[in-house]
Amino acid sequence: MHNSLQLRGAYVSMLKHYWLSVVTPLLGGLTKPLRWLGIQLNTISPSKPYGLDSEIAGPPLASSNNNPHFLPNLLDWTVSRRDRTFHVYVVEPGKYEPETHSNIFEAAINVFIERRIQPLDRYASDTLADPPLRFDLVTFPEAFLPAERLIDLLAYISRAEGFGCVHVGLRPSATDLNHLFAVPELSNLVKELRGLPDIVNKDLDSFECWLSGQTLSARFNVGCLFAVDADRRVRICLHPKMVQSKYEVSPLPEDNMEEANLLTVVTLRPTNKDLKTVVVQPLLCSDALHLGTKRNGSRPLEALQKDAGCLGNQPPDHIDIVSVATCTPQVPGLSSRGANYRTWHSEFRDTFRRAANDDALGRHHFAAFVLSNFQIMPTGGQGGLSGAFMPVSVRHREFPEFVTLCSYGRPGGAFENRWSGPDDDYMMDGKSRGHIVALSPFTGRPEAAARIFGFTVHRLPRDQSLWSPNEGLTHCTLKIGEVQESSQSLQFVS
């Protein structure tokens, strides 16, 4: 009996030593009390991380929730989809003018929630109500929508029929030119969102956990992806920008963006089990680029390959859609015939090429990139070219006159792959490897207050057999934002 008690005591001591020296460091001190061993391990409350109790003077410091490793923001939404096509609309405002953004946003959203009234024929007095436009994704630019307008919309959007996903860059105010949020402003935003009816509060848990670890003096650029799910509940994803652009580096603390480390992925799971899931990665502009980072770690695209373990035991195997809300200048030029043209700048084009070909971005090999931009930059520079990159060959020569194309391959039998220019045949004899379809900055009323470029992804690349050609983008449409004389309100018309 005495020997048995000694053995038991030795066994308990051994377990204590193993737990304290091996398991506790691995878990970062977050362990449950081991009452049966008589041990009470000290823990750190997640609701009060270090550095949050008081304002820290000087520049923001890396906190326990903002280190080189990533925190997960992995969401799963059940949605209604009718078929294998994916309907996309990108909104391109004419100018970066924050005081006009709310009107453009509301007019664009009305296109998808209001029934369109049309006469039965030109002589009839009776009318026919068309259903609202069906969509899977609408993307707006970066730093676009004031947070209070987001709250206003989400308060009633669950009543909308067939409402898909909307991706938009947020800003604190329509009157403040600074698009960066202070930590208290983000805390208030989360609190207001949690108080809305029909919203699924758990969607905000990961963002709020990450936010609780940030110093109060930090400033962040934040985007939002929201949807109405198959059960008519409002789903929401807040995602902070993770890579500073050169326009977000400043000696002024309020204009200097802190890089976040919250890795965000949303899986759209159709109620119709005959259809596959669609996995979306929402990004803000330079998040998509191969730029240096303050963390000296992975960029968001690379992180889904190198740091996917942060998403748990079952990270998504693939990304289908990368939605990029941008505010970026583009590259102007002249063709050999003296015609003006504009192309996506080289960093973005390099991202498209790497996503399709580089094993470092293996989960993005079949991803389509959806891009929304301002026509005129805050500095007055040239932007635009909202549209999409598809990692498949161009199949069709005829596109509407408001569309411009650029493809990657060997134009004219060139020795090496390159992006086509204005004097090249973008068809490349059917041997292009990928292509960009964009809204032309020179045709299709580019002077309008805003334009909506709509298109249908005939098949997501992952959903298309490699033995048959992918048709790419089909059914390209354009809507122009005009001020109506009768109501003096902005409306989008075909």
Residue 309, SS3 per DSSP: helix
Between 445 and 1, where is the model more confident? 445
pLDDT of residue 11 exceeding 60, the answer is no
Amino acid at residue number 23: V
Between 482 and 484, where is the model more confident? 482
> pLDDT > 70: what percent of the chain?
83
Token look-up 């369109």 returns 116
* Tens digits of residue pLDDT in 453-462: 999 999 999 9
pLDDT of residue 37 exceeding 60, the answer is no
pLDDT of amino acid 122: 52
**27: which 2 tokens?**
């878990």
Taking residues 429-448, what's their average pLDDT?
Answer: 91
Residue 78, SS3 per DSSP: strand
Question: Band of the pLDDT at 23, cuts 50, 70, 90?
Answer: very low
Burial (Cβ within 10 Å: 0-12, 13-18, ≥19) of residue 354: middle
* Tens digits of residue pLDDT in 234-284: 999 999 999 999 999 999 999 999 999 999 999 999 999 999 999 999 999
* Tens digits of residue pLDDT in 154-164: 998 988 888 99
pLDDT of residue 330 exceeding 50, the answer is yes
pLDDT of residue 47 exceeding 50, the answer is no
CA neighbor of 421 nearest in space, from 328, 354, 334, 330:
334
**270-279, 316-325, 336-345: which range is least confident on average?**
336-345
Taking residues 308-319, what's their average pLDDT?
Answer: 93
> pLDDT > 90: what percent of the chain?
67
Question: Band of the pLDDT at 483, cuts 50, 70, 90?
Answer: confident
* DSSP calls for 161-219: TT--EEEEEEES-SS-S--PEEHHHHHHHHHHHHTSTTB-GGGGHHHHHHHTTS-TT-E
**38-47, 147-156, 204-213, 361-370: which range is least confident on average?**
38-47
Question: Band of the pLDDT at 95, cuts 50, 70, 90?
Answer: very high
Taking residues 191-202, what's their average pLDDT?
Answer: 96
Token look-up 């030795």 returns 10
For the chain, the straight-line distance linking the first and the last C-alpha, in angstroms and rounded, comes to 90
pLDDT of residue 20 exceeding 60, the answer is no
For residue 171, the tally of other CB atoms under 10 A from its CB is 23
Q: Compute the mean pLDDT over every residue in the chain, rounded to the nearest whole number.
A: 85
**30-39, 136-145, 364-373, 480-489: which range is least confident on average?**
30-39
Query: pTM of the entire structure?
Result: 0.84
